[in-house]
Every structure is written in structure tokens, then in C-alpha cells.
Amino acid sequence: MLRFLGQRAAMGLLTIFVTTIAVTLLIHLVPGDPVEIMYAQSQGTTPEQLEAMRSSLGLDQPIPVQYVHFLGRLLQGDLGVTIRGQQPVAQLLMQRLPNTLALAALAMVIATVIGMPLGFLAAYKRGTLIDGVLMVTAIAGISIPHFWLGLLLLFWLAVDLGILPVAGSGPLNIVLPALTLGLSNAAIVARMTRSAMIDVMSQDFIRTAHAKGLPKGKVLRRHVLRAGLVPVVTVMGLQFAFMMGGAIVVENIFAWNGIGRLALEAIFQRDYPVIQGFILVFATTVVVVMLALDAVYALLDPRIRRS
């Protein structure tokens, strides 16, 4: 199992390494000169100012040299400074990251708590009306965009009922964005759980369990659930990555101070160091969460745990 996790960790490091290359190239992948685009809206910029910006970003050097510099600073935890305000990017991101993590984690809990039991129920009641209603709801849940669901919840719970704050940064403020993110992902989790459980229910070992005369509940709890969870957990990692992506939209709707909101602002302002930092932090978070879920997966599946 340690070897399995070692392999996964190595893959994760490789992913982050590739991301650093992509991030360096990012600026050059945008057509046109990045610095000129940055200043396109401001009148009367002198060529000297452009040149100064170029050299302060290191853009006047060959790309490999830029990369080495970037990597060198990165290893010291330095992601550069923002173009507007000259604040250290790393510090800015680290301030906001906990907010996003809290949001994604709570949303994940909501998605799991709602999605898994419903998916299990749908699998158990496969082909019945309950299954049909649940799955149609799930498809609706997947299809509704975050911003629309978020607005609906906002009007209903905050404006009409007034039980939750509209926006801000108090402890209750996390509920609406987390609900928005969690509900649409609950639909995905429900569908995944359903298909994983149905798959397990048709396995030979479930027939064996029935042939032993075990009560139905026992077959479901001991045999179906334990075996069916393994594939569900594997996809949870991907799920979390989607959740982080969804957070960018949701944070902006609810003015939640996470890194998603920071990133969007930076994109509008072409604040390249922030965008680069955001991508790196985002990728690292996803890699770490995936690794954690791989560990859970290894614990659930004895074929890996005991290898």
C-alpha cells in the first residue's frame, strides 16, 4: 500500500511540475505582447514604462531563463508581487485559500450526505417510480448552472425568507454558497453512487450472499455498500476538482472572499502573477486532495491495502 501511495505521490509531484511549466508559458500563449495588453486601456503610457514593466516581470529574458527564475523563487515560497498594489501574491492567496477550502469542503459534505443515500436508494429501488423521480431530479440538478441555482437560493432563502444573509463574511454566509455548490454536486454523486451500487448488485458475490440466506438489509449493508463505495470514492477526487472550479463562479455570486474571486478579479485586470499563483495553488490543492482520497481508496480496497 505504501508503494501504491508512493506512486501516486510521485505522479502528483509530476503534475505540479508540469503545471509550473504551463504557468510560465501562460503569459506567452496569449496572442500579442502581454505588457501592451495590460496597458491597453490606460492612456499615455510611455514606451519606457512598458519596458520597465517588462523587465520587472522578467519578460525581457529568454523563456527558459524566465522559467528557472520562476522556479527558483517558487521554491522559496515567492510568487512575486501583484501588479496593482505590489502586494506579495503568495500571502494574498494564502489569506483567501482557507475560505475556498472551507466552502469546497462543506459543499463536498453536503453533496455526499445528500447524494450517496439517494443514489443508494435509487439503486435499491431500481426501475420503480422512486428511482425515476430521483434520477430525473438528478439530471435537472446537474443541468442547472451554478449561477442560476445560486440566484434562486439567494432569492428564496435570503430575500424572501430572510433566514440567511445575502452576502458578507460572517459564519452563516458560507451556507448559501456551499448549498449551491453542494446541491448540484449531490446530483452527480447520486448518479455515480447509483450506477456503482447497481453494478455491485449484479455481481456473483451478491448472489452468494443471498444464497447464504442473509437478510436483505444485511446483504445491502455488508456486501453491496462496502464493495460499492470503492469506485465512488475514486471519483470523489475528480468531483473535488470540479467543486474547486465551481467555487470560482459561486464565490463571485455570493461575494465570498475565496481565491476564486481573487482569480476572477486578477483575470479582468491582467494581473499575471496572481493568475499564475492561483493556477499553481489550485493545482496543488487538487493534487493533495486526490492523494488523500487515494489513501482512503487504498484503505477500502483490501487488494491494494494488503499489497
> Residues interacting with other proteins, by CB under 8 A?
3, 6-7, 203-205, 207-216, 218, 222-223, 226-227, 230, 300-303, 306
Is the CB of residue 185 less than 8 Å from the CB of residue 112? no
C-alpha cell at 239: 468531483
CA-to-CA dists, residue 304 to 2, 8, 230, 231, 301, angstroms = 9, 13, 11, 13, 6
> Least CB distance from residue 208 to other proteins, whole Å?
5
> Least CB distance from residue 123 to other proteins, whole Å?
13
Judged by beta carbon, residue 69 or residue 207, the one nearer other proteins is 207
> Least CB distance from residue 214 to other proteins, whole Å?
6
The string of DSSP codes covering 120-146 is: HHHHHTTTSHHHHHHHHHHHHHHHS-H
Judged by beta carbon, residue 3 or residue 62, the one nearer other proteins is 3
The string of DSSP codes covering 28-87 is: HHSSS-HHHHHTTTSTT--HHHHHHHHHHTTTTS-HHHHHHHHHHHHHTT---B-TTT--
Phi/psi for 131 (5° steps) reads: -60, -45
> Least CB distance from residue 281 to other proteins, whole Å?
28
C-alpha cell at 67: 522559467
> Least CB distance from residue 299 to other proteins, whole Å?
11
